[in-house]
Structure 1
């Protein structure tokens, strides 16, 4: 089964009638009025968007914009996660298997230890304020999830250039030496 269609189906099931109406309204410039009037579910709307090639598994910006407009940050997060987890990304833009394992271990340690100072680290890594604000809006009461999502955002942005050494350097640049030491210690004791 196509993972993108599964994702769209789950989105469709979670949309309220008001949200569907809002989506239809937002699509007015792209889809004819008569077609929109016949739409009764999110699935039908997504089918039209797929047919008109406005969305695809490797073309999600319009869908993301729609979901942001109806304030469904939870669905935006799911969509971003779908993209990040390689369903869309080309394999040659991913870190190699060894580096991926190291990154996973490093991210785990950072998430456990950084806490409220995570934004300073993200700035050092080059993540924009807008992206951080979106992450906070999507996970308003979950500090750990904010850290995880921002590190995923960094990893997606860097692609195959995402390196553990960059994380350690950024940690030290923020005077988070204890966390940097813990990352190095974790990497030296078993993940390598």
Structure 2
């Protein structure tokens, strides 16, 4: 049995009618009114969110926001414990330690140096407009967080194939050569132990 589905089932069982109504209200920008009207349980709501890929084993941010929105700190704590205990296998678990460190450094440099043209970069990394719009909607008004979340989305979608070299190629393809140079410089420092 999938532990993530078991967790969602447990959450569903603990929701009151008022909490379910609140969750439906919080989801109205992601789920059509018609679908929401037919939802009678947390399980049905979570099923729709899973089908729309708003939540997944490796994508729990929106679920956490929903639980915080209905003031269920106990469920947020359960979700966080589940994640910490490795119940959710994130894509970076598939990378070796060196690549993880390199990605962390590269993403930090990119987030500090790429501004309003971040969407162009993410398109070069093959993220869809739907994925980008979802990130923007979830983090409206916070440009840096939009870029951070878009890069995480890229990492999740590529899994072990998410390579720093692809980030550098995409930066250069977008004529963001200065940022690409900074990433390479930081990685050189990391690899020679001067960072």
Task: Please report the TM-score for the alignment, with normalisation by the length of structure 2.
Answer: 0.62
* Separation of aligned partners in 1, 2:137 and 2:64: 10
Counterpart of 2:22? 19
Q: Which residue of 1 aligns with 2:103?
A: 103
Assess if the C-alpha contact under 8 Å between 1:64 and 1:76 holds in 2.
no
Question: Who is 1:152 aligned against?
Answer: 152
Q: Cα distance, 1:188 vs. partner? A: 1.0
The TM-score with structure 1 as length reference comes to 0.63
1:117-128 to structure 2, matched below 5 A, reads 117-128=117-128
Asked if the contact 2:122/2:150 (under 8 Å) is kept, the reply is: yes
How far did 1:87 drift? 4.2
1:65/1:134 CA distance change after superposition, 3 Å: closer
Measured at CA, do residues 145 and 164 of structure 1 come closer, stay the same or move farther in structure 2, by a change above 3 Å? same
CA distance in 2, matches of 1:92, 1:177: 26
> Structure 1 pair 175/163, CA: closer, same or farther in 2 (3 Å)?
same
Which of 56, 62, 83 aligns to 1:75? It is 62
Query: 1:190, CA displacement in angstroms?
Result: 2.6
* 2:121/2:171 contact within 8 Å kept: yes
**Structure 1: runs of 5+ lacking an equivalent:** 29-35, 37-44, 67-73
1:131 is displaced (CA, Å) by 0.5
Distance 1:154 1:90, change over 3 A: closer
In 1, Cα distance between equivalents of 2:149 and 2:173: 21
Q: Could you list the per-position Cα deviations for residues 108-149 of structure 1 after superposition, in whole angstroms to 9, with x for gaps in the alignment? A: 100010010101100111000110001000001100010001
Is the Cα contact below 8 Å between 2:135 and 2:149 reproduced in 1?
yes
Larger helix proportion of the pair? 1
Paired residue for 1:61? 50
State the partner residue of 1:69. none
**2:117 match: secondary structure:** helix
> 2:163: which partner in 1?
163
